[in-house]
Structure 1
Amino acid sequence: MANATNESHAANETNEATEIVDGKVEEVEVSRHPDPSIPESDLSLADIERRKFQPVHWGVYLTAVLAAIIAPYWLGRMLAVQRTAWLVAHMSVFDQRGLVFLAWTVTLVTLTGLGMAVVESKTWLWRIVFVIGLAAEQFIAGLSLLKLNFWYSTYVVYGDAAPLANATNLGIIAAGFGVAAYAVLWVGLLILIRKDSPLSVLTRSWASFIMFFAIEAAALLIVLFGGLLTTV
């Protein structure tokens, strides 16, 4: 009995088992579940995530976001009011469509950084891109006096050069309306398309980014060639 037990233990150690093939007993190798590489712990997933959370880093980051919203806009607005002639001389280098494209690009980089920061939540790269882009967008918005009825403010401050500031505002607004249209369409697709539908490919991450940039490009083209530059 002891010999049988020892042989059984030896078979387990070498990961071997026996099976009958054509009336003969043959030894075959079988796989055995490896030992767990992660030690057992009483911590829950929530406890682990809580330990990874770094409140100091996030506090600094949120402070940087607030500073990127407030300070650049204030600086741009101050330059628009106090250095109007100097600013007009530099803005006149661009035409209206060039300023639309510049403002749209900066805003698009900001929105892309925000989206990627949500998707790639484990890296800080896209969060930093978002803060830098946000600061640049707010500075441009301050220079062009962006608000709901910006065309009145720009005419008071810039006079005959107001169309240049208006074009900059339209670039920012185009990117904003583009992301709003994308959000509505994306949520609609998630609600209407079933998981087993062939159209579910439209809800994949790569399809989502293609859709986002396509809508943003359409918004830019509407502003550039849709006659909006002549209405404000």
Structure 2
Amino acid sequence: MKQFDDGDGAESGRSDAAGSVAVPSHPDEVTSVNKVSAHPEATIPDSEYSLAEIEQRRARPVRWVVFALAVLLAIVIPYGYGRSLAINHTQGVLRYASILDPRGIALIAWTVTVLTFVGIGMSIIESSSWFWRVVFVLGLAAEQLIAGLCLLKMDFWYSTFVVYQHQAILANAANLGIIAAGLGVAVFAILFVAILVCVRKDSPWNTLTHSWSALSMFFIIELIAIAIVLFGGLITAA
């Protein structure tokens, strides 16, 4: 009998070693049982709105409609008003514009246009803030006013000469400042997309696609563009 009991003990030891059901060594020993926790009660209160309706309320579409209308008005009204001043009050416009040097006028027009592009760029980076959207709308209105005063279009040299005669260089300088800012944005966009598409992700050049690095690259390109206009002889040639 003792040998049989030893065999049973050996079998129990094997079962324990193999990870099978453990046999208690003492009849009074109680095995611990893991208690399964009950599912917690819902902490989110019931709502009569669906998730889509909640997201729609957070989006506040009325603000975006107002913003779109403000952008449209900033494009149309200032340009029309500036063009009307240039045609109907030419001498008054020249009286104020002739105080400035043509390079200064080009720099002012370039600054306003760059500020407009910075406003829309920062509104994308800081999407939760409406400050830069307001800056974009105000900058766009100012840029369109200058464009209207200077009769900006594809062949503006002829229009400015007809309206402003021998002082057309002032309007041409402003137009060149606006065009320089626009071309700077175009060059920046091409370089940015080229880096995204052609450069590997582990390349150091890929850091130029980060938000603040891209903004720095944008300003460098814009400074080169306005430097070409100011010191490249384009203003006197116009």
Q: Return the TM-score normalized by structure 2.
A: 0.79
Write the letter of the residue equivalent to 1:204.
H
Write the letter of the residue equivalent to 1:125.
F
Q: 1:147 aligns with which of 141, 153, 156?
A: 153
Alpha-carbon distance between aligned partners in 1 of 2:79 and 2:189, rounded to the nearest angstrom: 26
Question: Which residue does 2:74 correspond to in 1?
Answer: 68
Question: Which residue does 2:211 correspond to in 1?
Answer: 205
Q: 1:115 aligns with which of 109, 115, 121?
A: 121
Write the letter of the residue equivalent to 2:98.
S
Gaps of 5+ in 2: 1-28
For residues 46-65 of structure 1, what are the structure 2 equivalents within 5 Å? 49-65=55-71
Deviations 1:40-69 (Å, cap 9, x if unpaired)? 99966x665433221211111111110000
RMSD: 2.7
Sequence identity, in percent? Answer: 53
Q: 1:157 aligns with which of 152, 163, 186?
A: 163
Deviations 1:63-96 (Å, cap 9, x if unpaired)? 1110000000011001101110111011001011
Deviations 1:157-192 (Å, cap 9, x if unpaired)? 001110000000000000000000000000000111
Alpha-carbon distance between aligned partners in 2 of 1:50 and 1:69, rounded to the nearest angstrom: 29
Question: Which residue does 2:90 correspond to in 1?
Answer: 84
Aligned to 1:145, the other structure's residue is in SS state: coil
Q: 1:179 to 1:86 in 2, by over 3 A?
A: same
Write the letter of the residue equivalent to 2:88.
Q
Write the letter of the residue equivalent to 1:206.
W
Does structure 1 residue 96 correspond to structure 2 residue 107? no
Deviations 1:7-37 (Å, cap 9, x if unpaired)? x78xx9xxxxxxxxxxxxxxxxxxxxxxx99
Q: 1:121, CA displacement in angstroms? A: 1.1
Alpha-carbon distance between aligned partners in 2 of 1:103 and 1:37, rounded to the nearest angstrom: 57
Does structure 1 residue 218 correspond to structure 2 residue 224? yes
Alpha-carbon distance between aligned partners in 1 of 2:88 and 2:54, rounded to the nearest angstrom: 53
Question: Which residue does 1:29 correspond to in 2?
Answer: none
Alpha-carbon distance between aligned partners in 2 of 1:180 and 1:37, rounded to the nearest angstrom: 51
Alpha-carbon distance between aligned partners in 1 of 2:154 and 2:220, rounded to the nearest angstrom: 26
Q: 1:158 to 1:116 in 2, by over 3 A?
A: same
Of the two, which has the highest radius of gyration?
Answer: 2
Aligned to 1:123, the other structure's residue is in SS state: coil
Write the letter of the residue equivalent to 1:229.
I
Deviations 1:93-124 (Å, cap 9, x if unpaired)? 10110000000000010000010111111111
Equivalent residue pairs, number: 205
